[in-house]
Structure 1
Amino acid sequence: MTAHRLLTPRWLATGGAVLLAGVIGVALLLHDGGAACAAPPATSTQKGKATFYDLSGGTGNCNFAPPADDLYVALGRTQYAGATSCGSYLDVTGPKGTVQVKVFDSCPECAVGHLDLSRTAFKRIANESAGVVPITYRAVPNAPAPGPLSITFAEGSSPYWWAILIDNHANPIVSVQAKGPGRDWMTATHASYNYWIIDRNTGNGPFTIRMTDSYGHVATATGVKLLPTRRQATPVRFTGKAVAAKGSGAPAKKAEPATSKPGASSAPVAPSASASASTPASSVPVSPRSDRNADGLVQGPPVVLAAAPAAPSCG
């Protein structure tokens, strides 16, 4: 079965593609996250099927670098839930055993319960020659992350518009807020390619960024600098004891309880249904808005978008 894909990173990188990609990003956001039934996988055991695909460079729709262990999964539109599932972990059990995988990508043609695994992950649970196998799977709350939370500003981020990619959070993130020195909290909007965007005058920073996961944990990173494309390790985690990041001037903190509101260019490996298009951090399909007033401020408040894993899913 030939894998069907959306736009590839190579296409997105060509001249004049950024504007069109922005339109497509908005369309995918509405398609993936707009349905009331869209929600990440539940923590209760579900039945489904698994296929596999190969990632030929780049990143998945979640825009993460491939995990060091090569254990990842692409989810269909409903369970991808407008990128809310990105970075969470699933336990997948097949004929040969169980593997834990990171939600890394979207699979445009996968129905609810159809998990498109990396080849490495698939081989942990079944014989590669089987192609398609029945599975059970469940979301893993508070899965161990490979390190503390990291934050990367997208290329083109500035004091007037920025987008951040957050990694190593393990649980789905449902809210991100940020503020600079002497400023009020600003709420970020979550895009379907997994960047959190603030489209207004944010100031030069450094920023305090407050992140809330789907289980009510809150982690706050301080001293985050506006350094586009540079991955910044923070000293905080949502779960467990925080470990101070090397070179970080901020003290280590424990996750705080919530007290207020908060593509991959994949080789066509049979029998994978699909592997999604991705957008590398260097070509995020959004751009700073130009509709600013004389003071350089964007008109209108930011929009809050967050999907809760507890919502019912549908097929």
Structure 2
Amino acid sequence: MNRRHLRWVLPAATVVVASVVAVVLATQVGGSAACAAGGQASYYSAGKNGMCNLGTPPDGAYAAVGRAEYAGGKGCGTYLDVTGPNGTTRVQVVDLCPSCPAGKVDLGKGAFSRIGALSAGIIPVTYATVRDPQVGPLSVKLKGGTAYSSLTAIVNNHGNPLSTVELQTPSGWAALRHGEDNTWTAPPGAVAAPVTLRISDAYGHQAEVTGLALGRNDFQATQTLLYGGPSPSPSASPSPPPSTVESSAPAVPSSPPSSLAAHC
């Protein structure tokens, strides 16, 4: 089971003020983030996998979000820029935090330590979903695909929230069903290898991944990027607090799906 570390709770008035200030500052600063929210962060250990079945980065650069932002698995694999008292860090959403209200995130210990003191347990933060984050080529884990077990797929390194994953069949493209555990499931029936998937995200980027093998238990690396023009990743080292940061980055042209910006 996940182990969540809550050392103490900040006074309600302090949290409210910090949240309001954080949202205002995030709006003023701008950048590559699709939306900004202010609230709190704590730290925890996601174990081996997390609810999203993506695994966890070894440097602790991951996060669990509440049900509204998790959005039944749509938040899996997206990235947040989280700013705390000591700077900003980027984390991948790999888990569900069932007890987290809107504006609350649980961070991996490594990520938390880069923006705040571990001894604090809970810190005020502002965070934002990053559009087109810089990620490597897509990777895919496949299971099943036999007459007795439907094909399932887990996709990583997509960066943005996915809208559809489709399987190429002799009769055309078949849509896979997305589950809360971030697994995409094909219609029943055997699948011929090699497998080809068509992957689309919420912003209209689309890519075909070919040559995927069946009968493997690991993520298969590809050479396919879902999109180009990645945004730069912030440094893991401490940076100035938001009130002293200046940015000339252009505003994001459109907002993310409402399920990922429920409290922005």
TM-score (norm 1): 0.61
1:237 aligns with 2:225: yes
Aligned with residue 89 of structure 1, among 76, 79, 85: 79
Aligned to 1:102: 92
3-state secondary structure, aligned to 2:258: coil
Once the two structures are superposed, residues 241-296 of structure 1 have per-residue CA deviations (whole angstroms, 9 ceiling, x without a partner) of 8xxxxxxxxxxxxxxxxxxxxxxxxxxxxxxxxxxxxxxxxxxxxxxxxxxxxxxx
Once the two structures are superposed, residues 160-180 of structure 1 have per-residue CA deviations (whole angstroms, 9 ceiling, x without a partner) of 511111111111111011113
Aligned to 2:171: 183
1:172 aligns with 2:161: yes
How far apart are the structure 2 equivalents of 1:105 and 1:222?
28
Aligned to 2:194: 206
Aligned to 2:45: 54
1:151 aligns with 2:140: yes
The higher relative CO (CA closer than 8 Å, separation ≥ 6) is in 1
Aligned with residue 161 of structure 1, among 150, 153, 157: 150
One-letter amino acid of the counterpart of residue 116, structure 1: D
Q: 1:215 to 1:202 in 2, by over 3 A?
A: farther
One-letter amino acid of the counterpart of residue 211, structure 1: I
Once the two structures are superposed, residues 170-226 of structure 1 have per-residue CA deviations (whole angstroms, 9 ceiling, x without a partner) of 11111011113x332110000101110013225323222001111110011112222
**Which runs of structure 1 show a deviation greater than 3 angstroms over 4 or more consecutive aligned residues?**
none
Counterpart contact for 2:82–2:128, Cα < 8 Å: yes
3-state secondary structure, aligned to 1:44: strand
Structure 1 residues not aligned, in runs of 5+: 5-41, 242-307
Once the two structures are superposed, residues 100-143 of structure 1 have per-residue CA deviations (whole angstroms, 9 ceiling, x without a partner) of 00001110100111000011111111111111111111111111
3-state secondary structure, aligned to 1:177: strand
Give the alignment's Cα RMSD to 1 decimal: 2.1
How far apart are the structure 2 equivalents of 1:65 and 1:87?
10
Q: CA deviation at 1:157?
A: 4.1
3-state secondary structure, aligned to 2:158: coil
1:119 aligns with 2:67: no
Aligned with residue 192 of structure 1, among 156, 168, 180: 180
One-letter amino acid of the counterpart of residue 238, structure 1: L
Aligned to 2:36: 45
How far apart are the structure 2 equivalents of 1:124 and 1:3?
18
How far apart are the structure 2 equivalents of 1:125 and 1:178?
41
How far apart are the structure 2 equivalents of 1:184 and 1:228?
25
One-letter amino acid of the counterpart of residue 209, structure 1: L
Aligned to 1:218: 206
Q: 1:131 to 1:230 in 2, by over 3 A?
A: closer
Q: CA deviation at 1:77?
A: 0.9
Aligned to 2:262: 313
Aligned to 2:60: 70
Aligned to 2:129: 139
Structure 2 residues not aligned, in runs of 5+: 6-32, 230-255
Counterpart contact for 2:4–2:45, Cα < 8 Å: no
How far apart are the structure 2 equivalents of 1:153 and 1:189?
14
Q: CA deviation at 1:229?
A: 1.3
Write 1 or 2 for the structure with the bigger share of strand.
2
Counterpart contact for 1:157–1:228, Cα < 8 Å: no
Aligned length: 207
Q: CA deviation at 1:227?
A: 2.5
How far apart are the structure 2 equivalents of 1:179 and 1:204?
10
3-state secondary structure, aligned to 2:35: coil
How far apart are the structure 2 equivalents of 1:166 and 1:223?
15
Q: CA deviation at 1:54?
A: 2.0
How far apart are the structure 2 equivalents of 1:202 and 1:142?
34
Percent identity of the aligned residues? 38
